[in-house]
A and B are shown apart, each in its own frame.
Chain A
Amino acid sequence: SATVAGENGLFSGVQLRHSALERNKRCLLAYLYNRLEQIKKMRWEFGSVLPPEVKFNMCEQEVQWFSKYNKMLANYMRSIGGEGGLDLTQDLKPPKTLYIEVRCLMDHGEFETQDGNILLLKKNSQHFMLRSECEHLIRQGILEHIVH
């Protein structure tokens, strides 16, 4: 019991128990907080759909938290500026060149560029594409940026 009336001898015992409880609480909160930080990092790396292996390791509430975070982030990004908003998960690195050379790591079918050209993304084919168009494909692992 948390209240000890008049029993002076038990004060130190209560204090010890209380400190232990507070420490346990702090450890638990820190553990959960760090898991959430990792999950947040995944949103910025993988996008709004989580790979199944990651989802398997998350508990029910964390999955719910992830979808809430997704919604909050989407609402915020949509509200930037006057219309349309700005996708903050793109343009993560400063742009060095306008076009980049990429190699396809797996078959991805046809891809239509901004100019209207259609590229066939077959495994091991190389293409010269606008950086802004293929950034998300590189992050998903479908294309690989070739650096010389």
Chain B
Amino acid sequence: MADIDEIDGVSDEEVEALTAGEVLQKLEEAWLNEKFSPELLEAKTDLVDCMLEQVTEMEENIKRAKKGDFKVVLHRMEIDRIRYVLSSYLRCRLKKIERYTTHVLEQESNRKEEDVCHLSPEEFTFAKEYGTTMETHMKNLVLRHMPPNLQTMDFKQTTIRPNLDSYVFLRVIEDTDGVLVEEETLDTGEEIVDLQKGDQHIMRYKPLSGLVMSGAVSLI
């Protein structure tokens, strides 16, 4: 990526003091975390927007370059790769939104002001519309014909919730002490684990969700 920087003269973005290479690396991290996490993580809209801008800039540069120049081939491959990572990341999020629609919307309505949003504004509109079309579809085809007391979509029974107890592989980025893995029950005591930088573990997702969002661990 340093090669691309010097060829295109890509400068630091005004919003964050990150080079294009760093943005791509953060995007790849977010992509992998999203892929392996059972729940929908924070929306990294600034990374997506920034990367898309870079891609459009690179495409412009290609158009201006002389034909047959070897750099063009390299740039084209890089653009293909970046586009794949972006699309895969957004597709993964979309799939989770479609699967856990009511859960995601509930989470959003319970969110307090200070917490980061897990849905971008466009994703939020999509989630709401998807939920309503699904509900009206069921109403028109099935629920309309049922006896009167069964005509509502009972969301307590029908929502699909992500399985936060699934196991994930992770790599530790920052030293973290005192992660509460098992809570105290009648038979066993609490289990507290210290995570050292560079370690790789396989654990239940639930105690790690905060650490994944803060960037202290990354899923592999």
Chain A residues packing against B (C-beta within 8 Å): 2, 21-22, 25, 28-29, 32-33, 36, 40, 59, 61-62, 65, 68-69, 72-73, 75-76, 79-84, 86-88, 90-95, 98, 115, 130-132
Q: What B residues does A75 contact at CB under 8 A?
A: 122, 125-126
Minimum CB–CB distance for A42 against chain B, Å: 14
Would A61 and B137 be within 8 Å (CB), given that A80-B48, A98-B73 are in contact? yes
Q: Give the number of chain B interface residues (Cβ < 8 Å).
A: 39
Would A25 and B98 be within 8 Å (CB), given that A72-B133, A82-B49, A98-B76 are in contact? no
Q: Find the B residue at minimum CB distance from A116.
A: B67
Please indicate which of the listed interface residues B94, B126, B141 has the most CB atoms of chain A within 10 Å of its own CB.
B141
Main secondary structure of the interface of B (DSSP, over half): helix
Among B11-19, B85-93, B102-110, the one that faces the other chain is B85-93
Chain B residues packing against A (C-beta within 8 Å): 48-49, 52-53, 56, 67, 73, 76-77, 80-81, 83-84, 86-88, 90-91, 94, 98, 122-123, 125-126, 129-130, 133-134, 137-138, 140-142, 146-150, 158
Pick the contact of B150 from A25, A36, A93, A132 — CB < 8 Å?
Answer: A25
Q: What B residues does A65 contact at CB under 8 A?
A: 133, 137
